[in-house]
Structure 1
Amino acid sequence: MDDEQGGEAAGSDDLTDDWAAAMTEEESSSDDDGMDDWAAAMAEQDETDSADLTEDDIQTAPLDYLEDESPDFDSDNPNLEVIMDIPVTISMEVGSTEIAIRNLLQLNQGSVIELDRLAGEPLDVKVNGTLIAHGEVVMVNEKFGIRLTDVVSPSERIKRLR
């Protein structure tokens, strides 16, 4: 029995040695092959980079010249017909003031905020946040309305809306 175990141990050592030799041989040959491939690629790159290009090597593509085919735009008399049906927001501003966030957070029902306008002073009429007129509050069929008292000229309104 001892002979069998001794024989198996010796066979196992031989097998281990064979595997180790094969692995070492494979690693060294693959490293050499990899290095050879890298060296060849680098040499090819150097040859390509060092080659001087001549005008014969460069090809040009014919291009069509672009023409300005857009219609003439007259900035003094713009065609406003295209924007006439766009909805805008109109608002009336009674007044404004600045307060600290601390005071804003303390506001509750019944609080009074003092504005920068006097009572009876005209309101600001704004379109999308741009001042276009001044006016006074009126009642129309039990709803609030505004009677315009001072209106910015149409050309000035267009300039302000841009």
Structure 2
Amino acid sequence: MTPKAGSQEASTPFTNVPIEITVSVGRARPLVRELLQLNEGSVLTLDKQLDDPVELFVGDKLIGIGVLEVMEGDGAGQLAVRLTEVVDLQTPA
């Protein structure tokens, strides 16, 4: 089945190309000497709390904000993000 003329899919052949979304849960800012001392079992303190919103990026572009959740049912235990804000991706920046 081909997309209808005028539909978004008809005008953009790339809509079926997968992309990678990075979810940023926080940042750590250790000193270089602390970074060099990291090993298995080391803990980095982040600048966020567990319940703080996370940011979603495609490359360097912020595309949304969300909250972390743990899936139930078929995906039980899988980490997920529930979107709370989405950037208007149709309008050029």
Match of 2:86 among 151, 154, 158: 151
Q: Does 1:90 align with 2:21?
A: yes
1:4-83 counterparts in 2 under 5 A? 81-83=12-14
- Contact (CA 8 Å) 1:88, 1:128: kept in 2 or not? no
- Contact (CA 8 Å) 1:125, 1:134: kept in 2 or not? yes
Which structure has the bigger radius of gyration?
A: 1
For residue 152 of structure 1, report the CA deviation from its aligned partner. 0.9
SS at match of 2:35: helix
TM-score by length of structure 2 reads: 0.70
Partner of 1:124: 55
TM-score by length of structure 1 reads: 0.43
- Contact (CA 8 Å) 2:22, 2:57: kept in 1 or not? yes
Q: How many residues align?
A: 80
Partner of 1:71: none
Distance in 2 of aligned mates of 1:104 and 1:80: 48
Alignment deviations for residues 13-66 of structure 1 (CA, whole Å, 9 cap, x no partner): xxxxxxxxxxxxxxxxxxxxxxxxxxxxxxxxxxxxxxxxxxxxxxxxxxxxxx
Match of 1:101 among 32, 35, 42: 32
For residue 80 of structure 1, report the CA deviation from its aligned partner. 5.3
Moved over 3 A (4+): none
For residue 134 of structure 1, report the CA deviation from its aligned partner. 0.7
Distance in 2 of aligned mates of 1:131 and 1:97: 19
Give the unaligned 5+ runs of structure 2: 1-9
Of Structure 1 and Structure 2, which has the larger fraction of its residues in strand? 2
Give the unaligned 5+ runs of structure 1: 1-78
SS at match of 1:103: helix
SS at match of 1:154: coil
Q: 1:126 to 1:80 in 2, by over 3 A?
A: farther
Distance in 2 of aligned mates of 1:92 and 1:85: 21
Q: Work out the percentage of aligned pairs sharing the same amino acid.
A: 31
Q: 1:92 to 1:116 in 2, by over 3 A?
A: same
Distance in 1 of aligned mates of 2:11 and 2:87: 18
For residue 147 of structure 1, report the CA deviation from its aligned partner. 0.4
Residue type at the aligned position of 1:83: F
Distance in 1 of aligned mates of 2:11 and 2:49: 38
